[in-house]
Amino acid sequence: MRITLDIDGPAWKAWAAFYTLASVCRKVEIYKTRKGFHVIGYGAPVETPEQVIRVRRWLGDDPVRIDLDEALVKAGKPFQILWTKKNDFQVKLLEVVENRNLD
């Protein structure tokens, strides 16, 4: 399953989440945004939206975004939506890690 994080604030928090996900996901990407970072982990070892939300909270995702996604999950709608361009600001890919040994 995919896990997306929106982490505003100190860079170390985003990089800690990035490397934590890199140890358990098949692929992880980190992007620089205007206020912080987006971290996306693909192939995370979670099975339900509720588990995804718990992991996101533990890794420091934006609490307001988590609350909104919890409401979307309860309504049966898509969640974990991140933007790639906002007010003419394009996010910048910083690093990608792929773990082929997790197959």
Beta bridge partners of 67: none
Q: For residue 71, give the H/E element and its range.
A: helix 63-74
Question: In the Cβ-directed half-sphere of 65, how many Cα atoms lie within 13 Å?
Answer: 21
pLDDT in the model for residue 69: 85
> pLDDT digits over 12-52, tens only?
999 999 999 999 999 999 999 888 999 999 999 999 988 99
**3-class DSSP state of 60:** coil
Predicted TM-score (pTM) of the model is 0.83
User: What pLDDT score does 16 carry?
Assistant: 96
Per-residue pLDDT, averaged over 63-82, amounts to 80
Inform me whether the pLDDT recorded for 84 exceeds 80.
no
Strand partners, 31: 38, 93
